[in-house]
């Protein structure tokens, strides 16, 4: 990655190191004149249609997000605008892992795919692109209630448990979306990728917390409607950025359901239009449903439930003791007592101990390189949790540096050894370090022996929270999974470069004026070498009509476009919508 550019935006500057690895330069100079024409077409269509069906702040939000109709947004312009409402934006390479995506939201940073869809996918693309991310997500950010929901969702999603199957599905979807955006993707390879996505979707097993949260995200942030079932408005970015589905979604054939926690039962397919959509009466209802779901998650439930989820995840997770001590590592074992409460936990491999999301000095992965284990619970015969013992109570229990002691836990776990040090923070004891230590369970199974070295015993009556990821991610040097598959960047042949030049000439005439009669030469070249094109022809017609020039040429182009719409049905709606906007131009001054 090149030198990190924070765009002089506080939100971007505050991003932790483990998220910066996904950021790529925008390379604004790589956008072609065709790319800008695609952006302009979609934005004009969106403005014309969405002013009537989008949730109110969408149109004013365009300006607040630093977006214009005429050109693909520059990340610096967007960051300058978004900073005023406490957000930022960065560019990434296509889909990034859901956990990382959620965490960006928690930091109030929009993740924007740097690429833009091809002309042939102008209505909808399964791959994330700058139209979807900026024209879809950014305008609604100006709504205070909504952006609070978005960042809160991110903070909860960043703690969600995920599974190996989640990563496998993510990778399959990423590969498929890249293939679908390639101009000449191999048909057999495409079908193979589609089959793999379908297979992995059908073999996910019990959905993880992340999978279920992703559904809530999909049915709100991406495809949400707000208002009444009879008269909903669009706020979801997937709909706002799709000039095809933003219209079709309002048809009666697409079922409208009240948005409740039941939305987690509905899976989705990114490659197809949605068979149903969910309508929320208010953004506050989104937060209420999210709260309802969060109450079922490991980071709030903790205990044996949360630790079991951590073991099943087989990823870096953090268990939080009631004392405040955080144990981060790959959990492989736990023991419970007769009441079903956690009595003992164990990690394998590099493990770190933290308090308040800050790694404790001398307790990083290099020190606990072979894993970590510790009992959980109360002493036998004590009504008070060890973490709350005063110095006098510690002395009475013979828990003092240099003293040998024997600790009997209610669960049957026993710890024998000489106390080396006691670590406490905010009047809570978190770690007691032993030498010459032996740890056994109720059945006398050996859990730790003196030959293994120093024993750091975590202190806490119970496990109050378990969440995915390390407590101190940067100190832990936790590197989120990053795909090795990169998005496709085309190499243009001479004919395509010639077409780009024709689009550039039309764009220059619109922006700079000059000899509009020259557009006739552009049209001749289009007819001779690029008869498949329709968008450049449409832009020429728009200029001629707007300026009231070259009536015969305008009539010829209009006839060409109308014939193309009739004989090639895939272009019918695109051309008809484009012709409509020539006669009913949008008020660009409202958004530029």
Q: What is the pLDDT of residues 204-231, one digit of tens each?
A: 778 899 989 999 999 999 999 999 999 9
**Residue pLDDT, tens place only, 540-568:** 999 999 999 999 999 999 999 999 999 99
Please tell me the pTM assigned to this model.
0.85
What is the spatial distance between Cα 245 and Cα 268, in angstroms, rounded to a whole number?
15
* Torsion, CA 233, CA 235, CA 236, CA 239, rounded to 10: 60
1 vs 120, higher pLDDT: 120
To the question of whether residue 132 is assigned a binding role by annotation, the answer is yes
Mean pLDDT of 11-39: 94
Is the domain of 58 the same as that of 110?
A: yes
Is the confidence at residue 3, as pLDDT, over 70? no
Whether 482 maps to a domain, the answer reads no
C-alpha torsion angle, residues 564, 565, 570, 573 (rounded to 10): 150
* SS3 call for 539: helix
Domain limit, last residue, from 446, 476, 506: 476
Q: 189 with 223, same domain?
A: yes
SS3 state at 171:
helix
Looking at the 3D structure of the chain, how many domains does it have?
3
Q: Quick one: pLDDT at residue 15?
A: 95
CATH code of the domain covering residue 222: 1.10.800.10
Question: Does residue 5 lie in a domain region?
Answer: no
Distance CA 385, CA 407 (A): 13
Task: Select from 276, 291, 306 the last residue of a domain.
Answer: 291
In a domain, 3, yes or no: no
Residues 379 and 519 in one domain: no
Q: Are residues 126 and 57 in the same domain?
A: yes
Residue 57's pLDDT band, with cuts at 50, 70 and 90, is: confident
Residue 205 maps to a domain: yes
To the nearest 10 degrees (0 to 180), the angle between helices 535-547 and 494-512 is 20
pLDDT of residue 314: 87
Q: Which of 571, 588, 496 is CA-nearest to residue 244?
A: 571
- Of 432, 431, 427, 343, the closest CA to residue 388 belongs to 427
Q: What is the dihedral of CA 503, 509, 510, 512, to 10 degrees?
A: 130
Based on the domain organization, do 375 and 455 belong to the same domain?
Answer: yes
What is the rounded average pLDDT of the residues 382-403? 94
pLDDT at 564: 97
Taking CA atoms, 293 is separated from 208, 210, 217, 527, 556, in Å, by 13, 11, 12, 58, 59
Co-location of 207 and 253 in the same domain: yes
Q: DSSP labels for 77-138?
A: HHHHHHGGGT-EEEEESS---HHHHHHHHHTTEEEEES----GGGSS--SS--HIIIIIIIT
In a domain, 311, yes or no: yes
Percent of the chain with pLDDT over 70: 96
Query: CA 75 to CA 315: how far, in whole Å?
Result: 34
Give me the pLDDT at residue 185, please. 78
Domain boundary among 476, 504, 527: 476
Average pLDDT, integer, range 279-302 = 97
Per-residue pLDDT at 135: 86
Position 393 scores a pLDDT of 94
**Which token pair is 132?**
């979807």
Q: Which of 579, 583, 577 is nearest to 46 (CA)?
A: 577
Tell me what the mean pLDDT of segment 21-39 comes to. 94
- Taking the C-alpha atoms of residue 462 and residue 308, their distance in angstroms, rounded to an integer, is 14
What mean pLDDT, rounded, does the chain reach? Answer: 91
| 137 is an annotated ligand-binding site residue | yes
Q: Are 485 and 174 in contact (CB under 8 A)?
A: yes
Q: Is residue 325 part of a domain?
A: yes
Are residues 263 and 381 located together in one domain of the fold?
A: no
Range of the domain at 85: 10-291
Whether residues 469 and 322 fall in one domain: yes
pLDDT for residue 590:
40
Mean of pLDDT values over 227-253? 90
Q: Is the pLDDT of residue 591 over 70?
A: no
User: Is the Cβ–Cβ distance between 218 and 190 less than 8 Å?
Assistant: no
Residue 346 covered by a domain: yes
Q: Say which residue the tokens 């790959």 belong to.
A: 330
Residues 275 and 258 grouped into a single domain: yes
Extended strands (E) in 170-294: 225-227, 232-234, 255-258, 276-280
Contacts of 492 (CB under 8 A, 6+ apart): 32, 500
Q: How far apart are CA 579 and CA 89, in angstroms?
A: 34
Residue 35 dihedral angles phi and psi, to the nearest 5°: -60, -45
Name the pairing type of β-strands 428-440 and 446-448: antiparallel
Range with the poorest average pLDDT among 61-65, 128-132, 181-185, 535-539: 181-185
Q: What is the average pLDDT across 182-205?
A: 82
Average of per-residue pLDDT across 284-305 = 97
Reduced to 3 states (helix: H, G, I; strand: E, B; else coil), residue 183 is coil
Q: Is the pLDDT of residue 294 over 50?
A: yes
Buried b (16+ CB within 10 A) or exposed e, 249-282: bbeeeeebeebeeebbeeebeeeeebeebbbbee
Task: Judge whether 65 lies within some domain.
Answer: yes
With CA atoms as reference, report the closest residue to 72 among 105, 26, 108: 26
Q: Are residues 569 and 585 in the same domain?
A: yes
* pLDDT of residue 83 exceeding 90: yes
- 468-481 tens-digit pLDDT: 999 998 899 755 55
Do 168 and 274 sit in the same domain of this protein?
yes
Alpha-carbon separation of residue 345 from 92, 302, 372, 385 (angstroms): 38, 13, 8, 18
- The tokens describing 491, both together, are 């190499």
In 3D space, the residue among 170, 264, 268 whose CA is nearest the CA of residue 212 turns out to be 264
- Enumerate the H helices of 344-424 as residue ranges: 391-396
| Percent residues over pLDDT 90 in the chain | 69
What is the DSSP annotation of 252-271? TTSEEEE-SGGGGG----TT
Type and span of the H or E element at 525: helix 519-529
332 and 217 in a single domain? The answer is no
């Amino acid at each position: 990655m090149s030198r990190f550019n924070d765009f002089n935006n506080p939100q971007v500057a505050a991003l932790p190191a483990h998220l910066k690895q996904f950021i790529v330069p925008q390379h604004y100079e790589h956008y072609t004149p065709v790319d800008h024409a695609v952006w302009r077409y979609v934005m004009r269509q969106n403005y014309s249609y969405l002013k009537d069906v989008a949730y109110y702040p969408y149109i004013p939000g365009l300006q607040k997000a630093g977006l214009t109709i005429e050109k693909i947004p520059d990340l610096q312009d967007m960051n300058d605008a978004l900073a005023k409402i406490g957000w930022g934006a960065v560019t990434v390479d296509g889909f990034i892992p859901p956990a990382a995506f959620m965490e960006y939201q928690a930091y109030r940073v929009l993740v924007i795919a740097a690429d833009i869809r091809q002309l042939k996918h102008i209505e909808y693309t399964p791959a994330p692109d700058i139209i979807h991310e900026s024209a879809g997500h950014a305008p609604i950010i100006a709504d205070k209630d909504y952006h609070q929901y978005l960042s809160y969702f991110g903070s909860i999603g960043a703690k969600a448990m995920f599974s190996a199957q989640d990563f496998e599905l993510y990778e399959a979807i990423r590969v498929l979306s890249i293939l679908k955006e390639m101009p000449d993707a191999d048909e057999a390879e495409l079908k193979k990728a589609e089959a793999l996505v379908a297979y992995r979707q059908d073999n996910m097993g019990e959905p993880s917390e992340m999978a279920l949260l992703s559904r809530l995200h999909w049915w709100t942030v991406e495809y949400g409607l707000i208002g009444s079932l009879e008269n909903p408005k669009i706020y979801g970015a997937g709909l706002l950025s799709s000039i095809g589905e933003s219209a079709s979604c309002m048809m009666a054939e697409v079922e409208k359901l009240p948005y409740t926690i039941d939305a987690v039962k509905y899976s989705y397919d990114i490659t197809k239009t949605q068979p149903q959509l969910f309508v929320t009466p208010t953004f506050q209802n989104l937060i209420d449903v999210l709260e309802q779901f969060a109450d079922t998650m490991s980071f709030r439930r903790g205990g044996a439930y949360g630790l079991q989820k951590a073991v099943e995840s087989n990823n870096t997770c953090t268990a939080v003791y009631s004392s405040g001590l955080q144990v981060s590592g790959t959990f492989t074992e736990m023991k419970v007592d007769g009441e079903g409460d956690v009595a003992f936990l164990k990690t394998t491999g590099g493990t770190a101990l933290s308090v308040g999301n800050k790694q404790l000095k001398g307790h990083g992965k290099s020190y606990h390189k072979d894993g970590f284990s510790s009992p959980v619970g109360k002493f036998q015969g004590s009504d008070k949790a060890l973490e709350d013992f005063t110095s006098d109570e510690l002395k009475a229990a013979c828990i003092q540096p240099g003293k040998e002691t024997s600790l009997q836990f209610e669960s049957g776990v026993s710890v024998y050894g000489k106390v080396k040090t006691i670590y406490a923070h905010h009047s809570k004891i978190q770690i007691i370090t032993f030498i010459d230590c032996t740890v056994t369970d109720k059945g006398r199974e050996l859990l730790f022996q003196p030959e293994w070295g120093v024993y750091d015993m975590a202190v806490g009556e119970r496990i109050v929270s378990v969440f995915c990821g390390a407590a101190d991610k940067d100190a832990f040097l936790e590197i989120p999974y990053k795909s090795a598959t990169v998005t496709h960047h085309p190499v243009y042949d001479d004919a395509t470069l010639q077409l780009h030049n024709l689009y550039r000439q039309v764009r220059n005439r619109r922006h700079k004026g000059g000899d509009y009669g020259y557009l006739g030469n552009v049209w001749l070249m289009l007819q001779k070498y690029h008869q498949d094109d329709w968008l450049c022809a449409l832009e020429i017609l728009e200029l001629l009509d707007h300026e009231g020039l070259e009536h015969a040429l305008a009539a010829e182009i209009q006839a060409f476009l109308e014939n193309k719409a009739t004989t090639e049905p895939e272009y019918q709606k695109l051309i008809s919508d484009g012709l409509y906007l020539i006669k009913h131009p949008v008020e660009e001054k409202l958004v530029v």
